[in-house]
Amino acid sequence: MSETTFDKDRARAFTSRMLGILNDGALSLMMSIGHKTGLFDSLDGNPPASSQEIAEKAGLDERYVREWLSAMACGGVVDYDPESEMFSLPDEHSGLVTRRAGPRNLTVQMQQIGMLAEVEDDLVSVFENGGGLPYDKFPRFQALMSDSSERRFKSGLIEQVVPLLNMTDALQSGIDVADVGCGSGLASYLLGQEFPNSRFVGFDMSNEGISRANDTAKDLDNVSYQVADAAALNQDPSFDLVTTFDAIHDQAKPKDALAGIFAMLRPGGTYLCVEPKASSVLEENLEDPMAPFMYTISTMHCMTVSLAYGGDGLGAAWGHQLATEYLNNAGFKDIKVEGIRHDPGNNYFISTKPTS
Ligand SMILES: C[S@@+](CC[C@H](N)C(=O)[O-])C[C@H]1O[C@@H](n2cnc3c(N)ncnc32)[C@H](O)[C@@H]1O
Which residue in 220, 211, 151, 157 sits closest to 185, CA to CA? 211
What stretch(es) of the chain map to CATH 3.40.50.150?
A: 118-352
How many CA within 13 A on the CB side of residue 273?
Answer: 25
**pLDDT above 80 for 61:** yes
Between CA 190 and CA 295 the distance in angstroms is: 30
The domain 8-100 having CATH identifier 1.10.10.10: the answer here is yes
Residues 272-318 pLDDT 10s: 999 999 999 999 999 999 999 999 999 999 999 999 999 999 999 99
DSSP 3-state of 65? helix
Pairing status of strand 346-352 against strand 265-276: antiparallel
More confident residue, 155 or 74: 74
What stretch(es) of the chain map to CATH 1.10.10.10?
A: 8-100
Between CA 249 and CA 276 the distance in angstroms is: 9
Choice from 135, 208, 251 to test ligand 1 binding pocket (greatest atom count within 8 A of CB): 251
Residues 225-258 pLDDT 10s: 999 999 999 889 999 999 999 999 999 999 999 9
Neighbours of 225 (CB within 10 A): 24
Between CA 320 and CA 345 the distance in angstroms is: 12
Query: What is the pTM (predicted TM-score) of this model?
Result: 0.93
| CA torsion through residues 173, 339, 107, 82, sign | negative
In sequence order, the 6+-apart residues with CB closer than 8 A to the CB of 125 are none
What is the fold of 118-352?
Answer: Rossmann fold (3.40.50)
In sequence order, the 6+-apart residues with CB closer than 8 A to the CB of 69 are 51, 54, 78, 80, 87
* Distance of CA 180 from the midpoint of ligand 1 (Å): 7
In the chain, what is the straight-line distance between the N-terminal and C-terminal CA atoms, in Å? 66
Pocket around ligand 1 at a 6 A CB cut-off: 145, 149, 181-183, 204-206, 209, 229-231, 245-247, 250-252
**pLDDT above 70 for 1:** no
Q: Phi, psi at residue 217, to the nearest 5°? A: -100, 20
Report which protein residue has its CA nearest ligand 1's atom 27.
183
Question: At CA 167, angle to CA 166 and CA 170, rounded to 5?
Answer: 150
Q: Phi, psi at residue 310, to the nearest 5°? A: 70, 25
